[in-house]
Structure 1
Amino acid sequence: MSYPPPQYGYSPYGYGPPPDHPQATTILILGVLGLAFCQVLGPVAWVMGKKALNEIDASGGSMGGRSSVMVGYVCGIIGSVMIIVGLLFVVLFVVLGIVGALDSTSSY
């Protein structure tokens, strides 16, 4: 007597997680590097992260990696703010230096 082949049904473990966004790791690395070493990378991570978050939201859950993209995005924002604050300090010191130089020359 021959038995029929076993029937394959649904996996008892369910499906795996959705694949990550293709740029999730890149955005995470750019955000962390922009925060720690080279703040010029901050705005790049910010823009790329916003675009990737929009794509993840539009995919309706078929794309993962949201947490990696979000961390890179936030690090990019912080790095961009650090650039702005640094530039404001440079402008402040230049203005104070000019005012101080003008003040010291006008007293003679």
Structure 2
Amino acid sequence: MNAAQQHMLDLYRAAQLDQPAPPAPGTGDVEAYRSFRTWRAFQGVVDERLAARRARRADLLRLLLLRSSRRPSAPRPAVVRPSAVRSYPAQDRTRRVPDACGRTAEC
């Protein structure tokens, strides 16, 4: 049973018992995500190890970005890309394309 079917069953039961209808599935997802994000930010402030780890990662990323920006860039070889639209043999009316049995198809 999926969430929609369970919700319909809950609606039916609520109607039979004269109770208010339950909320639809997924209505509190955005609020739950925001509260989890806020909680993680709070934990990052409270937990010193997590804050130190984030600071080390930021320093390492900054160091790597500085190194990559200092390197002289080597000339890149020209990339030859095939055309976006491939020609299909059946589109060429001058060519005969064999079908699955090996016979030539008539246009």
Q: TM-score, with normalisation over the residues of structure 2?
A: 0.25
Q: TM-score, with normalisation over the residues of structure 1?
A: 0.25
Structure ranking higher in helix proportion: 1
Higher relative contact order (CA 8 A, sep 6+): 1
